[in-house]
Amino acid sequence: MALADGERSPLPMRQYPFALVTGAVYPGREEYTMNREADVRWFADFVGNSRWRFAKTYVESYPHEYTLERWGDSDAFRTAIDCIERWGVVEPFWTSRRKYLYVDDRKYWHMGNVSSANAEDQPTLINRTWLEVGRYREQAKGLGYDGEVLDRLVARWNALLEKARRGA
């Protein structure tokens, strides 16, 4: 299924072929293709249809939003994790390294170990942030930050993120 940029699929998420992102073989088929463009369009549709919450506890350091597996379709969530794993790029964040998938002026990452045999270590959360973190000003205003305090907060976000990217 080919979607134009910005177009939403008429199919519910669970009807997307699992092979689209995971490379799994459909029953009755012996081959599959791995297509980054189609996978990223699928991922954009997934995030557009997911519930996101601003992480209030990180308002003073690393503003971002998150979605939880339990808030939606688990199969679609797992497929989104696979998409981050397959198409994400590894970048530093302080002393750790994470895979980030860049889509529509945001970056996405998950928390957890996808290869762990222990279900408790598997990802159950996907985070996202605007590439321009200043776009979280409204969320910070809603938490009581305004005026000069808000301006200093946005400057702090940018400074901390730059240090984190350098691994400093």
- Angle between the N-to-C axes of helices 36-48 and 74-87, in degrees from 0 to 180, rounded to the nearest 10: 140
Whether residue 28 is predicted with pLDDT greater than 80 in this model: the reply is: no
- The residue extents of the domains of the chain are 13-166
In this predicted structure, what is the pLDDT of residue 8? 41
- pLDDT digits 0-9 by tens, 33-44: 468 999 999 999
DSSP state of 166: H
- Report pLDDT digits (tens) over 51-81: 999 999 999 999 999 999 999 999 999 999 9
Model confidence at 108, in pLDDT bands (50, 70, 90)?
very high
Tokens representing residue 4 in the block: 């134009």
pTM comes to: 0.79
Q: What is the pLDDT of residue 1?
A: 38
Q: CB under 8 Å to 134, separation ≥6 — which residues? A: 154, 157, 158
Q: Do residues 71 and 61 lie in contact, with contact meaning Cβ atoms separated by under 8 Å?
A: no
Q: How many other CB atoms are found less than 10 A from the CB of residue 20?
A: 22
The reported pLDDT for the residue numbered 167 is 82
| 140-156 tens-digit pLDDT | 999 999 999 999 999 99
The distance between the two most distant Cα atoms of the chain, rounded to a whole number of Å, is 62
